[in-house]
Amino acid sequence: MPQKGIIFDIQRASLHDGPGIRTTVFLKGCPLRCIWCHNPESWILQPQLLYKEYKCTGCLSCVSACSSGAHNVSRKGTHLLNREQCQNCFQCVEECVYGALKASGWETDIIAVMKEVEKDCQYYMNSGGGITLSGGEPMLQFEFTLNLLKAASARNIHTCLETCGFGKREQYQAVMRYTDLFLFDMKSVDSQKHYELTGVHNEIILENLDFLYAGEAAIVLRCPLVPGVNDSDDQLEGIAALSRKYPGLKGIELLPYHNMGRKKWAEAGYAYPLDDIGNTEESVKRTWISKLRKMGCDKAVLA
């Protein structure tokens, strides 16, 4: 029986998820709830309904398609969606010819994913690329992640694992052998701040970073920075301290906040918490780099 998993996207020709040209497989499910998340449709492990209100014409075809009563007609005759009633059967998606409704996530298996990944083997060879597992948090579907990494390694495809670090140590130990590069998130060096921004404290994450580094894993630290939220001097000093503690890090990437995820929050039915923050200005990005340089951290670059 092939190993099953739930994914919500496969992006070919990706240039931002590790070295070279890559195919990024996005797995569903995440234990964190980052307030700047660009993929909120990844949070829930199961497939879910997305609703693009701006595409809805009010044709009301979905109302009769839904036996759970989630789609309704308002007094004014317009379309209303009550997500609490939704059972994720996706009958309405079939009926919505305007593309306002979409199912995010589907069950797949290693063979199907590898078939897609192997289409670009030539590009990987020419560019030093490969496969990247992202999400969501791939470690939440540990068995599937491990087997995907094994399958890619067996075909000599370079493997990257993007992780928030909030997983079990023995599971990180198991994937290490098949992971050529970890893209390891560091969202806040302060545990309480980390909790406020993501819903979890960072002790386990720091311990896992330490464990992977001690095991000589190749690691790029990825630091999402939101102006005025987690880009304080203390945070930058914390990043610089990690670069001193782990001189063998393959890189430190700063990920400046942008608000392109906002639309996705609405589509998944969530209220966006950073409505008053715009995209990061160039001058702010340069200030981060310059402060880090002064703190002795030459490794940090803007992603």
H or E element, residue 158: strand 158-163
Question: How many angstroms separate the CA atoms of 170 and 163, rounded?
Answer: 15
Question: How many angstroms separate the CA atoms of 237 and 118, rounded?
Answer: 42
3-state secondary structure 172-226: HHHHHCCCCEEEEECCCCCHHHHHHHHCCCCHHHHHHHHHHHHCCCCEEEEEEEC
List the interface residues with ligand SF4, window 48-67 (CB under 6 A): 49, 56-62, 65-66
For ligand SF4 (CB under 6 A), the number of binding residues is 26
Q: Which is nearer to ligand SF4, 2 or 99 (CB)?
A: 99
Q: Pick from 6, 25, 70, 229 the residue near ligand SF4 by CB under 6 A.
A: 70
- Establish if 90 lies at the interface with ligand SF4 (CB under 6 A): yes
- Establish if 176 lies at the interface with ligand SF4 (CB under 6 A): no
Q: Which is nearer to ligand SF4, 77 or 247 (CB)?
A: 77
* Maximum separation of any 2 CA atoms in the chain, in Å: 64
Minimum CB separation from ligand SF4 for residue 75, in Å?
16
Question: How many angstroms separate the CA atoms of 258 and 45, rounded?
Answer: 25
Minimum CB separation from ligand SF4 for residue 45, in Å?
17
Q: Which residues contact 154 (CB under 8 A, 6 or more apart)?
A: none
Minimum CB separation from ligand SF4 for residue 268, in Å?
13
- Establish if 98 lies at the interface with ligand SF4 (CB under 6 A): yes
- Establish if 92 lies at the interface with ligand SF4 (CB under 6 A): yes
Instruction: Catalog residues that contact ligand SF4 under the rule CB under 6 A.
Output: 49, 56-62, 65-66, 68, 70-71, 79, 86-92, 95-96, 98, 100-101
